[in-house]
A and B are shown apart, each in its own frame.
Chain A
């Protein structure tokens, strides 16, 4: 039988202790916010969609200038001029930039006289930016070709995105980092607590009181749900107010904020219970957490991952949380969220029951 009163008094003592520990508080609440600020700042240059591209205009006529203006006004490229006296290849290398454009010397004249002329586009095929640069240059070149013959485009494009608003990197980053903090706080804390309490015999001490294992575990889970919710609100606020993230906050998030910490608290508890000492526990905890952290779409949207890593992600519980948070916050895809919730719920129940059953107050 679980007593709410005992669970609550354990919750109170544990929570108060947690709040008195500055290190825990920093990693619990401040660190995820710092990550959002940091990653947001790193990628905010890209987040408006412009790619920096260097251009050397060897032509001195008006058409080349118009062409570069047209590239700039696509909103995709941010064209920076490079002096004709520079060795262009060396310049790109010196600026660690794969993308560059050279407009040849007789561009305006050739254009006017209908003589074929080639724009050189530098790029690195393995980088997604290079494809965008050459595609954009190609598009603008076609437009100029059409114009030269006074033609109009028959096939046009209406550009839009999957969701109604334009998604930016920070929109993906926030659900990812919320997932990250849902994993990290409960998991690492419970690995540490359960192995330390076993070693220092604090569990034995607690077994001499009417507090039950289930009540103890429940109080930890409730604490980490509470902490994850506070952390979630902070991160969402920073994302929205600092980076102008377009994320949706709805009641659909609640299952993830409740199940997620429960899942990882139970997982941490299991690791601490099944290992012999705190050192081993911490190593095993890291071995489980780190791949999950990086392969569950935490820092980058999953579609950027190669196929085999995307397949592998499906065995990681965090994937379903990140995926679900993205489905709710970015795509408003609630049927996908429902599937994610179901998967997370099943894993959570299994791990919680296993943790409660396997962990022992006392030794034989």
Chain B
């Protein structure tokens, strides 16, 4: 059975289209990341899959069930950590796991589960006294109580310090090694790249790119290019004396698109012929970062907001238009 299958999902809040026709499916054992800035519709989409929110249109099957209609049945089989996980202030992680085990009617050793999420040292600390990272780990622990095959993690590391983020990543990698299917949302590119098998980039309620990192770069990146440090004059010379597509970024970097590797030789020959000064040379491909910036028209800061600042790639593209 395909764990998650959704097609043409739409959800609007008043005039705002939070999710605007999203379709994909997630395979068993896969870690699938929804990547995008705040307000892209990630949380709405993941909550529709979890059965916490009703969709306006489209079809959703999660573990063969309609999440909204059969939420009660579905929730016994999935694990969920919501973006703002919260628990009773006056309960500690060990009691919380015991509580969830009672609710799910399963028998577990709370300490085993807390060890799995690297929280055994704080098993007796009241929730109100846990750090942000520890609270998130407790959320993980609770989502594992019913041994779910499918987990939904909504921004599992947002707002955590780098150490806590790495610890959570280790927990997620642990889930992968156990063959669990995981759907996570994030606005951290490195998180999506580090953890997931496939990434869907979301913006304005739509998926603008989907696949493995390589597939996305292949489909939306600009391909391989040669970058030469030099002046605008040198760029003009190379453009005039070769058949190659040459860009100048205004900051001393000339970019030559390479259809074939041999094109690099022609470009360098022209550079040498020009008699002008030139510096460092390198070939490079677009990274997922570059593609992301291109697709969402900006970079994302640590809070998930888009920064209007444009990359050299984008600036060059705009001039070309």
Contacts and interface: CB of A to CB of B under 8 A. Distances in A.
B236 interface: no
Interface in B79-101: 80, 82, 84-91, 95-96, 98-100
A18 B91 CA distance: 10
Contacts of B80: 208
Interface in A298-317: none
A17 B91 contact: yes
A16 interface: yes
Contacts of B86: 200-202, 205
Contact of B91 (A16, A200, A362): A16
Interface residues of B, number: 30
A9 B126 contact: no
Residue of B53, B54, B103 with highest tally of chain A CB at under 10 A: B103
Interface in B265-301: none
A5 B105 contact: yes
A210 B87 contact: no
Interface in A200-256: 200-202, 204-205, 207-212
B52 A207 contact: yes
Interface string A330-364: 00000000000000000000000000000000111
A20 interface: yes
B95 A207 contact: no
Residue of B53, B84, B99 with highest tally of chain A CB at under 10 A: B99
B102 A362 contact: no
Given A9-B99, A14-B88, A20-B126, A204 B82 contact: yes
Interface in A7-48: 9-10, 12-14, 16-18, 20-21
Contact of B102 (A6, A20, A208, A212): A6
Given A16-B91, A201-B82, A210 B103 contact: yes
Given A201-B86, A210-B72, A364 B103 contact: no
B38 to A, nearest CB: 17
B75 A207 contact: yes
B104 interface: yes
B85 A5 contact: no
Contact of A13 (B52, B54, B75, B99): B99
B39 interface: no
A364 B102 contact: no
B76 interface: yes
A13 B53 contact: no
Nearest to A211: B103
A345 B100 CA distance: 34
B58 to A, nearest CB: 15
A12 B96 CA distance: 11
A20 B126 CA distance: 10
Nearest to B152: A208
Given A14-B88, A16-B91, A210-B105, A364 B54 contact: yes
B124 to A, nearest CB: 13
Given A201-B82, A204-B52, A17 B88 contact: yes
Nearest to B54: A364
Contact of B103 (A16, A21, A209): A209
Interface in A131-177: none
Nearest to A212: B72
B95 A13 contact: yes
B84 A201 contact: yes
Contacts of A10: 99, 103
Contact of A17 (B84, B90, B103): B90
A202 B53 CA distance: 15
A13 B76 contact: no
Contact of B75 (A5, A16, A209): A209
A14 B105 CA distance: 18
Contacts of B99: 9-10, 12-13
Contacts of A16: 90-91, 95
B282 to A, nearest CB: 48
Contact of B104 (A14, A200, A209): A209
Nearest to A364: B54
A363 B54 CA distance: 8
B89 A17 contact: yes
A142 B95 CA distance: 77
B50 interface: yes
Given A5-B105, A201-B82, A207-B75, A21 B53 contact: no
A227 B88 CA distance: 19
B70 to A, nearest CB: 13
B52 A9 contact: no
B3 interface: no
B103 A363 contact: no
B50 A208 contact: yes
Residue of A6, A201, A208, A209 with highest tally of chain B CB at under 10 A: A208
Residue of B53, B90, B126 with highest tally of chain A CB at under 10 A: B90
B71 interface: yes
B72 A21 contact: no
A205 to B, nearest CB: 6
Contacts of B54: 364
B87 A363 contact: no
Nearest to B126: A20
A207 B71 contact: yes
Given A200-B84, A210-B105, 20 more contacts: A5-B102, A5-B105, A9-B98, A9-B99, A10-B99, A10-B103, A13-B88, A13-B95, A14-B88, A17-B90, A20-B126, A208-B50, A208-B80, A209-B75, A209-B100, A209-B104, A210-B72, A210-B104, A362-B51, A363-B52
Interface of B: 50-54, 71-72, 75-76, 78, 80, 82, 84-91, 95-96, 98-100, 102-105, 126
11 contacts: A5-B102, A9-B99, A13-B95, A204-B82, A208-B50, A208-B75, A209-B103, A211-B103, A212-B72, A362-B51, A363-B52
